[in-house]
Structure 1
Amino acid sequence: MSRDRTVDALRAYAIGGVVLGHWLVTGLVLTDDGGLRQASPLTAIPGLAPVTWVLQTLGLFFFTAGFGSARSLAGYRGRPGGWLVRRLRGLLLPTVALLGVGAAVLLAATVAGTPDDTLAVALRLAISPLWFLLPLVFLIAITGPLRAAVRRWGLGRCVVPAVAVVAAADLAVRLLPAGSHLPPVTVVAAWSVPYLLGVAHADGRLAGRRAAGTLAAGGAAALAALLALGYPVSAVGVPGAGVSNLNPPSLLAVALAVAQVGLGLLARPSLERLLSRPVPGRAVTEVNRCAFRIYLSHQPVLVAVTALTARGGLALPGLHTGPDDAGWVLARFCWLPLLAAVLVTVVRTGQSRSPRHPAGGGVADRSAECVSSAPQVYDHRRSGPPDLQEVIAVRDSDPPSRGRADGQPR
């Protein structure tokens, strides 16, 4: 089964949106005692809110996860339950490794006398991306029934109940007392919509420009209607706001996901032409190859660079100063090349230390690190999933456990 290079491009765009979005909305301010506290430019500069529509790419992650899982399951010929175990292993093992390394680093930082504020920020930013595991693991586990349901009843009939649950949750958020928590089913329902789109796309049900155009136009129209009804403009949480579009995910987040998927599929001809060129094609391949490592590492890199440069006690603009005006945003852009260079170094170092196995062999060879720059043919009867990045559907904005918008967007 050959790779879908358009899906590869959407996955690469999604991980780029995660990294750029977090590095632009996560301000780490140097305090008087040498520690770091978290802040957001979205509070002081509300005009940046529409930019979050481009950088909040959670829907694309769940779309590509649904596509990859459905395609992998369709070609699996092993023992019952084996597909799910190996599919989830590709996510859980790197996560456990991250937690182990993170615990060791935090312990060393504590012994070295790092301020408590900095340790708290580092822990929060390192752990918060892992919230996605709950809805993602559940959706992967029911990929078979979802695929069967789409085939039997059609995509529309499968999506409507999920949208109804999200709509009910939106109403509850506005009626319940502040601080109330909604059940996790709200999160699963919201992100099941783009996941179902991915399942349907893997089954050939979204082929053609008509289907893509319908998704793009329908999502855009829903966005406009929801904004007119008073939904927050920002696609991520804003400190101090009463309601967040991601905590729990609202109808606006679902509409944005649908619109992004539609626009991505409409861009298929342009993306295919672009990826036929050596440089863009290789860049997309490299990002897909290391997507999970990038996701797990990008926030710790931001904290590490900020904390290490703060040891001299000098507050550097855009890195240690408060995100209070457009000057901070411009200064933060100037730091992006350094952050990117450190991230690339960390990701490549971790990749070079990964165990290597002969072709068709162990876990590392069947993970995201085994993707080549040309379309490949996969034998799903092998003992593992073809690509780790095909199950990635991650975004750590507004972890669902917090119920409502709190002090910091993720």
Structure 2
Amino acid sequence: MSSPQRDPYPDALRACALLVVVFGHWIATLPRLRDGRLVDTDHLLAAWEGAALLTWLVQVVPLFVFVSAAVSAAGVARRVEAGGIAPWWATRALALARPTVTYVAVLVALALLGLASGGRLLGVFDQSLTVHLWFLLMLLTVQALLPWCLRLDERFGLAAVAALVVLAAVFDLVRAGAGSLSDLIRLGSLVAERPAGIAWLNMLVVWLLPQQLGIAWARGRIRGAGTGLALLALGAAWLVLALASGYPVAMVGVALAGNNMLPPTLALVGVMWLQVGAVLAFEPLARRMLSGSTSGRGPGRAIAVLGALGMPLYLWHKLAELPAAWLGERLGLPIDAGVPGEPGFWLGRACWIGLCLLMVAPVIAAVVRFELRRDREVPAVSRTWRIVLGGVALYAGLAAALAWGVWPGAVIALPAVLLASGQLRQRAAVAAVATQREN
């Protein structure tokens, strides 16, 4: 029996989100050269205040969580009923752990080479080569709660979404110490000035919100261009009020532009409304455009390729900056183009992006070839304790690399993610096949 045809619209949304992330990271990196040699990197937000508004477009993590939940919603309940939550989550975690082992192993090899040869370029890019692993930690966590989110939707519908918004607001209010109307008017300023404290719980609550909305979309609770336009209006008004109260403009977690990400704030929720609104508002048009495409031609082929390369491209695109910088030095290209407004800045940006594209292609080709050669057999053994051990090891490894960069973070992370990959493979093979089909 042939499997049902995939819905191209969610796949197209994920492909677009992936491209935005990749190009956004490259664009944000400003190489700094001295005497033709790379000595440091700046962030675009540090050089151009206006770039903060661009983060409203490039902060697409909520969109990715939203679409992933929508795609998974139909099959998760069946998978959980057949094998339990732990084996189902282990399948998801293994899909992240296996390619992460390869990435971290290469980082360790580069670290050892760097120790032997000086490692100037690796030292410049050290933390930047692991910072994007935060997304894997967040995704592992919210997907572990996906079965419960489905139950919340079944019982409460959109009230579950409202409850998450209220809970996120309560944590921001407590963080701000708001106790009067005047405090509410300057809520964003108070939040920005004070330690997060209990608001760190918004690292979970706020990221569960797009997941709950994705489930609602998949089940038809939110639909139609009219609803999309209403959410777009809500998001615009939400952000205007958030900025007026003093929340930072930028929607990324860097101290130089304020902080709406660590932990997420109510301001970031406004971006979520905009993204979900855009998905619904443009859905009829997008589906008409995609209706004639297939995986073998036109947009369908590009979407299929990006879908297949999603995890490798996300993991490895930052590493492409390392050979891009080396090649830029050797060719004498103007990759250090100063700051916006100076002559040649955008030419320098074009050179840098071009080098990153040139370098990422052979990296991804090598990675995909290696991953395809790896053993895909999964032993049909189910042990909950192995899943728990593997999950803890995976969290610990990712956290170490995220906190301490390539050296010593990746060196500490490698045995942990190796252990995780080995333990997580000890669950029912049927769960792996089912999850592959639903995604």
1:283 aligns with 2:292: no
- For 1:120-131, list aligned pairs within 5 A: 120-131=123-134
Partners of 2:106 and 2:374 in 1: CA distance: 23
Q: Which amino acid in the other structure matches residue 97 of structure 1?
A: T
Q: Which amino acid in the other structure matches residue 190 of structure 1?
A: V
**Corresponding residue of 1:395:** none
CA RMSD, 1 decimal: 3.0
**CA 1:335–1:207: 2 relative to 1, 3 Å:** same
**CA 1:85–1:143: 2 relative to 1, 3 Å:** same
Q: CA deviation at 1:263?
A: 0.5
- TM-score normalised to the size of structure 1? 0.79
- For 1:7-406, list aligned pairs within 5 A: 7-31=10-34, 34-76=37-79, 78-80=82-84, 81-115=86-120, 118-155=121-158, 157-171=159-173, 172=175, 174-175=189-190, 180-182=195-197, 184-237=200-253, 240-241=256-257, 243-275=258-290, 276-277=292-293, 278-310=297-329, 314=332, 316-317=333-334, 319-325=335-341, 327-355=344-372, 362=377, 383-387=432-436, 390=439
Q: Are the aligned partners of 1:159 and 1:193 in contact in 2 as well (CA < 8 Å)?
A: yes
**CA 1:32–1:188: 2 relative to 1, 3 Å:** farther
Q: Which amino acid in the other structure matches residue 352 of structure 1?
A: R
**CA 1:288–1:355: 2 relative to 1, 3 Å:** closer
For residues 102-147 of structure 1, what are the alpha-carbon distances to aligned partners after superposition, in whole Å with 9 as ceiling and x for unaligned?
11122213322222xx333422111111112333222111111110
**Corresponding residue of 1:400:** none
Partners of 2:197 and 2:330 in 1: CA distance: 41
Partners of 1:176 and 1:216 in 2: CA distance: 25
145-154 or 41-50, which deviates more: 41-50
Aligned residues: 365
For residues 292-333 of structure 1, what are the alpha-carbon distances to aligned partners after superposition, in whole Å with 9 as ceiling and x for unaligned?
111111111113311343357x5x32x234445364234212
Q: Which amino acid in the other structure matches residue 307 of structure 1?
A: W
Partners of 2:123 and 2:266 in 1: CA distance: 32
**Corresponding residue of 2:412:** none
Q: Which amino acid in the other structure matches residue 280 of structure 1?
A: P
Q: Which amino acid in the other structure matches residue 45 of structure 1?
A: W
What is the percentage of aligned positions where both structures have the same residue?
Answer: 32
Q: Are the aligned partners of 1:39 and 1:322 in contact in 2 as well (CA < 8 Å)?
A: no
Unaligned runs of 5+ in 2: 177-188, 379-428
Q: Are the aligned partners of 1:212 and 1:265 in contact in 2 as well (CA < 8 Å)?
A: yes
Q: CA deviation at 1:169?
A: 4.5
Q: Which amino acid in the other structure matches residue 223 of structure 1?
A: L
Q: Which amino acid in the other structure matches residue 86 of structure 1?
A: T
Q: CA deviation at 1:177?
A: 9.2
Q: Which structure has the bigger radius of gyration?
A: 2
SS at match of 2:314: helix
**CA 1:232–1:178: 2 relative to 1, 3 Å:** closer
**CA 1:162–1:253: 2 relative to 1, 3 Å:** same
Q: Which amino acid in the other structure matches residue 244 of structure 1?
A: N
**CA 1:187–1:389: 2 relative to 1, 3 Å:** farther
Q: CA deviation at 1:192?
A: 0.9
Q: Are the aligned partners of 2:169 and 2:266 in contact in 1 as well (CA < 8 Å)?
A: yes
Partners of 1:132 and 1:112 in 2: CA distance: 32
Q: Are the aligned partners of 2:168 and 2:205 in contact in 1 as well (CA < 8 Å)?
A: yes
Q: Are the aligned partners of 1:39 and 1:323 in contact in 2 as well (CA < 8 Å)?
A: no
SS at match of 1:46: coil
SS at match of 1:30: strand
